Amino acid sequence: MEKQDIKQFTEIMMGLAENYPGAVLTGNGLKLRVAALKEFSIDQVARAATKLIQTHKYNSMPTLPI
């Protein structure tokens, strides 16, 4: 991801969080996710988020393996 992708990334994460009751997004959490996913393009992140919504089985926000 590039610096100009941060707004779209935040929108993706906010939309994803809406599907998980009780999910809380913080600035620090978003920064951590950006760092963890920086090797991927924003398109890859968007596709992964869509796939996660389509296939999720649990009602909690998944953690990122770091």
Model confidence over 13-60: pLDDT tens digits? 999 988 877 888 999 999 999 999 999 999 999 999 999 888 877 666
In a domain, 8, yes or no: yes
Show contacts of 22-29: CB within 8 Å, 24+ apart.
Answer: 22/60, 23/60, 23/61
Alpha-carbon span 25 to 32, nearest angstrom: 11
In a domain, 44, yes or no: yes
Torsion on CA atoms 65, 3, 28, 47, rounded to nearest 10:
-40
Residue range 51-65, pLDDT digits in tens: 988 887 766 656 667
The tally of domains found in the chain comes to 1
Alpha-carbon span 61 to 26, nearest angstrom: 13
pTM: 0.79
Domain that holds residue 13: 3-55
